[in-house]
A = this chain, B = another copy of it.
Amino acid sequence: MLVHHLYSGGKDSSLAAWMLTRLGYDVELVTVTFGLLDNWRFAKETAERLGFEHRVLKLPAEVLERAMEMAINDGHPNNAIQLIHERALEALASFPEVERVSDGTRRDDRVPFLDLPKARSLEDRFNVAYIRPLLGIGYKTIRELTERLFIVEIRESEELQKADYEAELRLLLRENGIDPLEIFPKRHHQSRVLGWKSL
């Protein structure tokens, strides 16, 4: 039972990947890129430290461009991040060999998040199961499990250290003469998973 799991290298998607293995699934981690940056390497490195299979999925640049336009129009990145995440899930689910897709989206996050109709639509259109291990738990439980499992490094925000969608979106904004700080909220620190606490 193989699950293809969207993976940024962060705590949430690492925890979700671990949960999948505990349920008996084989897990292949998949990191999305638009080819502007090679920040997917951070996710690959963390995947290797954790002992997971990893691959990179390239999405078309048009998706990032459309996301950028949404972010500029909205003045905040929520809809842009949501769009990229939905396209990433669809791209992954559209591979013929993919039967189960998964991600690390949380109960308490506003974006990215697929509501019930969207989740069912993804499953129906691509004939996959969509699994979100973190959906049934809150921040307390996420913290409890994360602290038990992972060695985590917390540092001042350095966007390129993480393989999330934000880094390439920020870069494209800058390339189009827009200061990402006008659109993204300030983040004071970022965390990165360095390895298992014990194996």
- Interface membership of A93, Cβ < 8 A: no
How many interface residues does A have (CB within 8 Å)? 27
Which among A38-46, A56-64, A138-146 touches the partner chain?
A138-146
Q: How many copies does the complex hold?
A: 2
A-B pairs with lowest CB-CB distance, top 6: A135-B136, A132-B136, A129-B140, A22-B22, A135-B135, A129-B141
The answer to whether B138 touches A119 (Cβ under 8 A) is yes
- Interface membership of A154, Cβ < 8 A: no
- Interface membership of A11, Cβ < 8 A: no
- Interface membership of A36, Cβ < 8 A: no
Assess A100 versus B136: contact at CB under 8 Å? Given A19-B23, A22-B22: no
Q: Once bound together, how far apart are the Cα atoms of A133 and B133, in whole Å?
A: 8
Q: Once bound together, how far apart are the Cα atoms of A135 and B115, in whole Å?
A: 12
- Tell me the smallest distance from the CB of A98 to a CB of chain B, in Å: 13
